[in-house]
């Protein structure tokens, strides 16, 4: 091989490498402008709107769904939260409100409530009903009104593997 062919081969290999690096499939990513926020007080009740959400689960039961699934999407869910005078945390989704629920029947536990943060959890573990084995967390930054709602379960409806959903929320 002469020097000219060697140089051409090296240049072509470098171009292919650069092309593969820049055009390889990228993981899902959404970049949104940070929403206008302000400090919030959950004792007066808040309306929270999902800005972005994610879903992750494994599927090993249905043949057409087998595999690991993950998605990232713009949020559409809305929730209402309130911390009453006795410290009870109330959490209602838009679906609950549309179904006629006026008050939360869930027994959330407040883990932290100070000037900066409100953190609450909801858990359920039932040996006889595996889909009811879950833990939800709600984190609210009172200084800027941003919150995170994370839902996890040991199994999902169509799989016997764990699943997780999370939503970044803007509360006002």
pLDDT of residue 3: 67
Nearest-angstrom CA–CA distance, 68 and 59: 6
> Are 167 and 138 within 8 A, CB to CB?
no
Average pLDDT (15-33) is 61
Q: Which CATH class is domain 27-171?
A: mainly beta
Percent of the chain at pLDDT > 90 equals 33
pLDDT of residue 172: 92
pLDDT tops 90 at residue 150: yes
pLDDT of residue 126: 66
Segments making up each domain of the chain, as ranges: 27-171
Digit-coded pLDDT (tens) for 100-147: 777 777 889 999 999 999 999 998 876 666 556 788 999 999 999 999
Task: Lowest mean pLDDT of 9-13, 49-53, 60-64, name the range.
Answer: 9-13
CA torsion angle 74 80 86 88 (round to 10): -60
pLDDT tops 60 at residue 79: yes
Q: What is the pTM of this model?
A: 0.77
Q: Which 8-state DSSP code applies to residue 34?
A: P
């Amino acid at each position: 091989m002469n020097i000219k062919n060697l140089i051409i081969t090296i240049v072509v290999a470098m171009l292919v490498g650069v092309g593969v690096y820049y055009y390889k499939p990228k993981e899902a990513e959404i970049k949104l402008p940070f929403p206008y926020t302000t400090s919030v007080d959950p004792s007066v009740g808040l309306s929270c709107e999902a800005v972005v959400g994610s879903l992750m689960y494994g599927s090993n039961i249905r043949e057409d769904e087998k595999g690991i699934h993950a998605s990232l999407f713009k949020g559409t869910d809305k929730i209402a939260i309130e911390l009453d005078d006795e410290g009870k945390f109330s959490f209602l989704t838009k679906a609950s409100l549309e179904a006629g629920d006026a008050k939360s029947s869930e027994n959330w536990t407040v883990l932290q409530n100070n000037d900066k943060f409100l953190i609450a959890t909801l858990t359920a573990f039932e040996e006889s009903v595996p889909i009811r084995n879950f833990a939800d967390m709600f984190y609210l930054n009172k200084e800027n009104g941003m919150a995170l709602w994370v839902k996890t379960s040991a199994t999902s409806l169509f799989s016997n593997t764990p699943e997780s959903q999370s939503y970044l929320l803007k509360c006002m």
